[in-house]
A = this chain, B = another copy of it.
Amino acid sequence: MDSDFGIPRELSPLQQLRSQYHPELPPCLQLTFAIAEVLLSFKRDTYYLNLQGTTVRVEFGDGTTVAEASDSHIVARAFPHTLGQPLAHFLREAAKVSDAHIITQLPSIRVGIVFCGRQAPGGHNVIWGLYEALKVHNANSTLLGFLGGSEGLFAQKTLEITDDILQTYKNQGGYDLLGRTKDQIRTTEQVNAALKACTDLKLDGLVIIGGVTSNTDAAHLAEFFAEAKCSTKVVGVPVTTNGDLKNQFVEANVGFDTICKVNSQLISNACTDALSAEKYYYFIRLMGRKHSHVALECTLQSHPNMVILGEEVAASKLTIFDISKQICDAVQARAGQGLINQKLIYIMKIMQSCTLPFTNFDLLYHSLAPDKNHGVILIPEGIIESIPEVYALLKEIHGLLREGVAADKISTQLSPWSSALFEFLPPFIKKQLLLHPESDDSAQLSQIETEKLLAYLVETEMNKRLKEGTYKGKKFNAICHFFGYQARGSLPSKFDCDYAYVLGHICYHILAAGLNGYMATVSNLKSPAMMTVKNWSQNASSTSTSIGRPAIHPAMVDLKGKAYELLRQNADKFLMEDLYRNPGPLQYDGPGADAKAVSLCVEDQDYMGRIKKLQEYLDQVRTIVKPGCSQDVLKAALSVMASVTDVLTTISSSSNGGQQFA
């Protein structure tokens, strides 16, 4: 935690070029950016602001509720001060407003910022955006970076951010400007240390950059500060490569775009390699924690032959042997294609002898699906926890570890079922399953080589089939990879540079507005879909269920969503036809540079856009049905609107009105 923080460093030509880039805004962010440039002071109603000649309307929405009605009393008890705050919503306003509402100067403020949790490309730009917003509004404002993550926060180790310091970190990857340690601000001791740091340093605001866990901690910290009458406001920023901090207000996490692009580049390279050498199956495990967002996005970008999503495994309750068999059957089907197509080739030969006008018979001939002894299979690292029997085994092991049982004694204390599974597994996996769990109670997913386990099981089975004569293809060869660390430190994509920079600006405006316990997406950290009671052991049938403290749920891949639907539509073709697609290395110039994540593009995520559309409809009705309109129009409008109101009231009371994220 004592690295060379904030030191100027030698940059490569591309890094230099990038350091000179000032974020441009993709169309989807223009509205959000409008906020960032606004001069804002906080009032609980609709009012108007001047944005470089454009007027912006600020609206506050309803007080928020929790995602699951049954949890509401628990959440309400945990967040008496910060639950139920209104959504803040910013819109471009066409109409002219009087100058009286416009505030031009804001008081200087002191803000601290800290990296929590794993590094994600773009994190540095949150600091840059926040710094610029602070200085633009008052040159005397101060931004203190905490050195070495949460531990630096507790120890009050700070570095004042300056233009000089930022110079070689703008648009660069990693968290090395400030460093990071554990992603935890949770224990009484930690929370008190954070409170003392903010008080001692006279901070008006504390910005916490991190994922699901860190934003949960941020929410609790905000509540704790409010309770303690500490004047420091807490803001969270959704920065995580896992892409699992998602709901209708948070469409994307900083870092996810870059990680998926870098991984897709490498996956595609492996696909090209497989197709060139035609003798290997690549088993590629992808970093991404419990859920399979990274694997899904990478599949949509690079079209490997197969992906096994944890959510599918959990939904279908697949065992490790089911998965292995699925892969074996795929290998066999691919190897058998040539046999299936012998008939077609025969027909082709007849056609050739008839001298039909084929200009390139060779091409046609070889385009018939031949035997395939190669392939690429993606495996999300979280899959191991999605397999019911393995998850049960892991929970037993973790329970025994917590009881202090030594790793080498655990195998003797497992339940019969778990013991049978454990003894069956190859030694390298046994050793990895015995590792202590992470701070969020999940297994050390990055250390468990599920791809090697599956490759091992598939190889064993294919050799058996070969011997029995049920498989007639070539000997099965697997090469295993784990992609994660080598992507996490990447230069951020333009998307992540822009997004993070804007979020930095928004952090400032949330703080300037005196808001506490908000997440920088212009949405409430306690929004309906994000805050539910996390059931720590909800899937472990063998352990007792207990109610934990309220936490943000990481979002699963939505198996009813459009991104997954797109995958399913193409899965068979991807499996058999090698439709490999190489998005290539991250580009910063030219057409490839502005590419966006496929799942972001296909998912119908523009919640605020749809709210706006609805308001337009209401305005239209109001315009049509005004004094002077015909009796018929009024009658029709009344009848239709009465029924609309009825329907919506019914739906709202039964569902909380929000999209559900279980």
Contact = CB atoms under 8 A, between A and B. Distances in A.
Interface string A358-383: 00101100110111101000000000
Contacts of A303: 10
A4 interface: yes
Nearest to A301: B12
Interface stretch (A41-49, A260-268, A411-419): A260-268
A479 B483 CA distance: 12
Top-4 shortest CB links A-B = A272-B489, A2-B370, A174-B272, A585-B585
A14 B269 contact: no
A236 to B, nearest CB: 19
A274 B591 CA distance: 32
Interface string A177-207: 0011100000000000000000000000000
A172 B174 CA distance: 30
A3 B576 CA distance: 12
B479 A485 contact: yes
Contacts of A176: 272, 275-276
A5 B372 CA distance: 12
16 contacts: A3-B374, A4-B367, A6-B363, A9-B579, A9-B580, A11-B581, A13-B592, A14-B587, A17-B592, A118-B277, A147-B366, A165-B360, A174-B273, A180-B276, A269-B485, A585-B586
Given A14-B584, A582-B12, A269 B489 contact: yes
Given A269-B490, A270-B489, 17 more contacts: A2-B370, A2-B371, A14-B585, A18-B584, A162-B360, A162-B363, A164-B360, A165-B363, A173-B582, A174-B275, A175-B276, A179-B275, A180-B276, A269-B486, A276-B489, A479-B485, A587-B588
A192 to B, nearest CB: 24
Number of this chain's copies in the assembly equals 2
A584 B15 contact: yes
A578 interface: yes
A1 interface: yes
A490 B14 CA distance: 19
Nearest to A371: B2
A179 B12 contact: no
A93 interface: no
A278 B1 contact: yes
Contacts of A371: 2
Nearest to A590: B589
Given A14-B587, A174-B272, A362 B592 contact: no
A588 B585 CA distance: 9
A491 interface: yes
A282 interface: yes
Contact of A173 (B13, B269, B338): B269
A338 B1 CA distance: 11
B587 A366 contact: no
A308 interface: no
Contacts of A488: 269, 273
Nearest to A428: B428
A273 B489 contact: yes
A585 B121 CA distance: 13
Interface residues of A, number: 91
Nearest to A341: B2
Contacts of A18: 584
Interface string A212-239: 0000000000000000000000000000
Given A173-B269, A276-B489, A370-B3, A585 B262 contact: yes
Contacts of A17: 590-592
Contacts of A3: 275, 278, 370, 372, 374, 578
A169 B12 CA distance: 31
A301 B15 CA distance: 13
Interface string A572-613: 000001111111111111111101000000000000000000
A273 B119 contact: yes
A600 to B, nearest CB: 16
A487 interface: yes
A366 B6 contact: yes
Contacts of A592: 12-14, 17, 588
A321 B172 CA distance: 38
Contacts of A590: 14, 17, 588-590
A126 to B, nearest CB: 14
Contacts of A269: 173, 262, 485-490
Given A1-B278, A278-B179, A486-B481, A582 B160 contact: no
In the complex, which of the residues A119, A165, A180, A590 has the most CB atoms of chain B within 10 Å of its own CB atom? A590
A6 B488 CA distance: 35
Contacts of A10: 303, 579, 581
A158 interface: yes
A174 B270 CA distance: 10
Most B Cβ at <10 Å: residue of A12, A268, A270, A274: A12
Contact of A587 (B6, B276, B589): B589
